[in-house]
Amino acid sequence: MTALSSSEGSGLRTNAPRAGNPRPATTRIASLGVRAVPALCVLGALGLGLGLIALTGVPLARALPAFARGIVGSDYALVGSLMRAVPLSLIGLGYILAERANLTNVGGEGQLAVGGIASAAVALYGGAAALPRPLAFLAPLAAGALAGALWGALAGALKARRGSNEVITTLLLGFVGLQMVYGSVQSEALLRQPRTDSSTLPESLPLPAATELPLLARGSGLPLHVGLVIALLLAVLVGLLLAKSSLGLRLAAVGQNELASRRAGLRVKSLIVLALGASGALGGLAGAIMIQGDQHYLTAGFSSGFGFDGLVVGLLARGSAWQVPLFALLFGALRSGGLAMEMSAQVPAAVVLVCQGLIVVATAAAAALGRRRA
């Protein structure tokens, strides 16, 4: 077929049509095995982590309880893990949403960043504090989501119109976003707090109390905020969207075969922009939640790797929305535990990074070998 080509422009062809015969269901045991693969990878990586801990000379008897205390040792710790899981979930959900249309969004870190910038800007200088109660914190959240949406949609538009591979564009935009945070807190004309003396840090002013996310469990003093509810709601929403809605089917069709989708009358270009825009919106929302719920002011590097972690969560969930919060909780717990382990047992938190890296690599390998066998 010479007249048509399935990738317009010169983009990298990561979106070759996923045609071909899907395998018929194999025996029950084999398919159970396939589903257990991510769990096995996690266990294997954790095992290796234990080995590393042993290498440090710190007895496991001291390290592991410290780790566990960091996760569930106190209400405070538990809440910490949950709150870490919130942005991870949102980014993961964004990843699988785009993945349904065979689009790979690796720019979560940048979408977090611009979401945080927009949220801080609107909260501090956009008059959000003056709005009535729910709007005071909803407006900056919406701003964050919108900023993230624009960031994602930009990559989507480049792909739809010019065929630019979205892996490259979202990655590059991600770095740009990170630098934008850095830039916006460097200058008082932007978001930097007024310099009172030479030791004033490059950060924004603290957010007005009205724009902070309301706390659940008000009396306990725990930093458990409404972001948790938002994340859970969105997990349900995204799951329903992908499984039950017409839009979900259209995204799947585009993801499988762009040409046939065009032939069938779908608005392929719009769907691509929508998918990446929605994916970015979730990332932007995550950034806003981090600023308004956890940190309460904007500083460079506030996203501290949550973007890539969230990406990994999305990868591990393999397209299933309900698995995203589970893996997010896992990674959030790993982080909390790791930090606690470092503080009280002097085991470097880097062990957790090693485990995460191993999990990712092992899962990718297992998925690939599983495909090869097919």
Partner 1 sequence: MIESLGVFVASTLRLATPLVLGATGEVVSERAGVLNLSLEGMMLSAAFAAALGAHASGSPLVGLGAGVLAALLLAAAQAWLSVRAGANQLVVGIGINLLALGATTFAYREIFGGLSREVIPSFEAWSVPGLASLPLVGPALFQQTPLVYAALALVGFSAWLINATSFGLALRAAGEDPRAADQAGVPVARVRMLCVLYTGACAGLAGAFLSVSSISTFTEGMTNGAGYLAVTAVILGAWRTSRVLAACLLFGAATALQFLLPALGVALPTALLTMLPYLLALAAVSGVVGRSRPPAALTLPFRRGSSR
Partner 2 sequence: MTTATTPSDPLARAMPERAGASPAPASSTHEEGTTPEPEREGALCLRRVGKRFGELIALDDVDLEVRRGEVHCLLGENGAGKSTLCNIVFGVQRPDTGTLTLLGEPYTPARPADALRAGVAMVHQHFSLVGDLSALDNFRLGRARRRSDELAAKARGLCERFGFSLELRRPVEQLSVGERQRVEIVKCLLDDPALLVLDEPTAVLPPPQIAGLLELCRQVAASGCAVLLVTHKLAEIGAVADRTSVLRRGRVVETVDMRGAQLDALVRSMVGREVRSLAATAASASSAPARAASGEALLEVEALRFEDRLGVERLDATFSVRRGEIVGLAGVEGNGQSELAAILSGMLKPASGHVRLAGRETTRSSPRELARLGVGCVSEDRHAVGCHLALSVAENLFLGSLERFTRFGWLDRSRMSQAAEAVLREHQVRGEARAPMSTLSGGNQQKVVLARELGLPGLAFLLAAQPTRGLDVGAVEAVYAQIREARGRGVGVLVISSELEELLSVSDRVLVMYRGRIVGDVPGGLEQHERVGSLMSGQGVDPIAGLGAAAAERAA
Interface ranges with partner 2 (CB under 8 A): 1-4, 6, 17-24, 241, 244-250, 252-253, 256-257, 259-267
**Cβ of residue 369: shortest distance to partner 2, in angstroms?**
19
| Closer to partner 2 by Cβ: residue 1 or 29 | 1
Nearer to partner 1, 17 or 208 (CB): 17
SS3 299: strand
Paired with 299 in beta bridges are 203
Instruction: Identify what 52 binds: partner 1, partner 2, none; CB under 5 to 8 Å per kind.
Output: partner 1
Task: Pick between residue 242 and residue 333 the one whose CB is nearest to partner 2.
Answer: 242
352 binds, among partner 2, partner 1, none (CB under 5 to 8 A by kind): partner 1
Q: Name 43's Cβ contacts closer than 8 Å, sequence gap at least 6.
A: none
Q: How far is the CB of 155 from partner 2 (least distance, A)?
A: 23
Cα three-residue angle 267-272-275, rounded to 5 degrees: 120
By beta-carbon proximity to partner 2, the closer residue of 218 and 372 is 372
- For residue 28 the two structure tokens come to 């029950």
Q: Using CA atoms, how far apart are residues 152 and 101, in angstroms rounded to an integer?
A: 14
DSSP 203: B
> Integer distance in angstroms from the first to the last C-alpha of the chain?
27
Please state, in angstroms and as integers, the Cα–Cα distance from residue 224 to each residue in 260, 289, 305, following that order: 47, 12, 21
Measured from the CB atom, the residue of 69 and 318 that comes closer to partner 1 is 318
Residue 232 interaction partner, one of partner 1, partner 2, none, beta carbon < 5-8 Å per kind: none
Q: In which residue are the tokens 């993230």 written?
A: 148
* Strand partners for 225: 215
Angle ∠(52,57,60) on CA atoms, nearest 5: 70
Q: Which does 261 bind (CB under 5 to 8 A by kind): partner 1, partner 2, none?
A: partner 2
Q: How far is the CB of 234 from partner 2 (least distance, A)?
A: 16
Q: Which is nearer to partner 1, 324 or 359 (CB)?
A: 359
Binding partner of residue 165 among partner 1, partner 2, none, CB under 5 to 8 Å per kind?
partner 1
> Shortest Cβ distance from residue 78 to partner 2 (Å)?
36
From the list 150, 356, 359, 160, the residue with the least C-alpha distance to 258 is 160
126 DSSP assignment: S
* Owner of token pair 């959000």: 128
Q: Rounded to the nearest whole angstrom, what is the least distance from the CB of residue 47 to partner 1 in the complex?
A: 15
If the CB atoms of residues 104 and 211 are measured against partner 1, the closer one turns out to be 104
The nearest distance, CB 279 to partner 1, in angstroms, is 16
- The answer to whether 204 and 192 are in contact (CB under 8 A) is yes
In whole angstroms, the minimum distance from the beta carbon of 328 to partner 1 comes to 16
Residues making contact with partner 1 (CB under 8 A): 9-14, 16, 19-20, 52, 55-56, 104, 106, 158, 162, 164-165, 167-169, 171-173, 175-176, 179-180, 182-184, 186-187, 308, 311-312, 315, 348, 350-361, 363-365, 367-369, 371-372
- Cβ contacts of residue 368 below 8 Å, gap of 6+? none
Residue 180 binding partner per list partner 2, partner 1, none, with a CB distance cut-off of 5 to 8 Å that depends on partner kind: partner 1
DSSP string, 183-201: HHTT-TTTTPPP--STT--
**Looking at beta carbons only, is 195 or 263 nearer to partner 2?**
263
Closest CA to 170 of 160, 161, 159: 159
Q: Which does 32 bind (CB under 5 to 8 A by kind): partner 2, partner 1, none?
A: none
Radius of gyration of the chain (CA): 22
CB of 265 to partner 2, least distance (A): 4
Torsion of CA 272, 273, 278, 281, to 10 degrees: 150
